[in-house]
Amino acid sequence: MQAHTRCLIEACKQLKVDFSFLDEEQNLVELYIHQKSFMFQANRTPFNTEALAGICLDKGHTWRVLHQHVRMPQTLAFMDIHVKPQYRRYLRYHTHEEIIAEIESTLTYPLVIKRNRGALGNNVFLCENRAEAEAALEQIYNKELRGYDYIALAQEFIPSQQEYRLVCFRGEPVLLYERYAGAKQFKVRYWEEPEGRPILVEDEALIQEQMAFLQPMFQRLCPGYVGVDLVRSVSGEWVLIELNSGPRVDHFVEFNGPERIIAMYVRIVQRLLEDEA
């Protein structure tokens, strides 16, 4: 049983909500609330549409949908020039030199190059110059590697003071934590650093400040359950980095224990009890 599932089940027990496991590993769970069924599959919930989950996974599409409504890093998307023949009609750039030229005509170094549908910091690079940008593209487009993606993104680099994960359910904040407790610098896999522990934040004024910044995002997408990654830039500006329709809590629980995640699920299930009554 995964950490988020364990916390969800404990919340159900506290609220006396019936549930059953549908698999031997106990990560496929069905909740029964007012004669309705709610299924949770690992970190996936019944609260988002399939299209919204796809938009969250596709970071290029996230930017396309939201960048005119909320501040995000400027983002360019480039297809692998060696895609299968049936997809080559979508190619806008036919050499890596053309891709680099477009990146350099739009963005300035340092900049970020990363795979479009990645997770856990895999194939994310801070590039200081052309040579590093070329190497990043070669890595992402290498079909022999597990982190291959046929779309690479080039993004404006936002120097930041803090980075946060804000989890929201039906437009309400249910969890906020700072993602890195050490020195403020570019950290892709922050959890691998000695100070890379998530720090619970319960500053209501800060939460409301972030929610006010994110209101255009909620109005545009209406996510049911979402983890929002955002940073405060060195100039004090809020910037949305990406969305996660199935945020995991393993690392948070490792350093902070399960109690706060259980409380989050209590709040979510209680809301379901009220809304479905």
Rounded distance between C-alpha atoms, residue 120 and residue 100, angstroms:
25
For residue 201, give both structure tokens: 């934040």
Whether residues 105 and 60 share a domain: the answer is no
277 belongs to a structural domain: no
Query: Do 87 and 114 belong to one domain?
Result: yes
Integer Cα distance of 161 and 75 in angstroms: 21
Tell me, yes or no, whether 270 lies in a domain. no
Do 58 and 167 lie in one domain? The reply is yes
Instruction: Tell me which residue has tokens 């199935």.
Output: 246
Strands (E), the chain: 18-21, 28-33, 36-41, 75-79, 111-115, 124-127, 151-156, 160-169, 172-178, 199-200, 225-233, 238-244
- pTM of the full predicted structure? 0.92
The CATH number for 62's domain is 3.30.470.20
Choose the final residue of a domain: 134, 156, 178: 156
Are residues 170 and 61 part of one domain?
A: yes
Q: Indicate whether 63 and 81 sit together in one domain.
A: no
Whether residues 220 and 180 fall in one domain:
yes
Same domain, 149 and 33: no
Q: Is 80 in the same domain as 204?
A: no
Query: Could you tell me whether strands 124-127 and 160-169 are parallel, antiparallel, or unpaired per DSSP bridges?
Result: unpaired
254 in any annotated domain:
no
**Each residue's pLDDT tens digit in the chain (277 positions)?**
899 999 999 999 999 999 999 999 999 999 999 989 999 999 999 999 999 999 999 999 999 999 999 999 999 999 999 988 888 888 999 999 999 999 999 999 999 999 999 776 688 999 999 999 999 999 999 999 888 999 999 999 999 989 999 999 999 999 999 987 554 556 565 556 666 789 999 999 999 999 999 999 999 999 999 999 999 999 999 999 999 999 999 989 999 999 999 999 999 999 999 988 7
Q: Are 264 and 174 in contact (CB under 8 A)?
A: yes
Q: Would you say residue 260 lies in a domain? A: no
Whether residues 173 and 36 share a domain: the answer is no
DSSP 70: S
How many structural domains is the chain composed of?
Answer: 3
Do residue 173 and residue 64 come from a single domain? yes
CA dist 188 and 117 (Å) reads 15
Domain membership of residue 170 as a residue range: 50-68+159-247
Asked whether residue 256 is domain-assigned, the answer is no
Q: Per DSSP, what are the bridge partners of residue 18?
A: 32
CATH code of 112's domain: 3.30.1490.20
The candidate with the shortest Cα–Cα distance to 143, out of 123, 113, 120, 119, is: 123
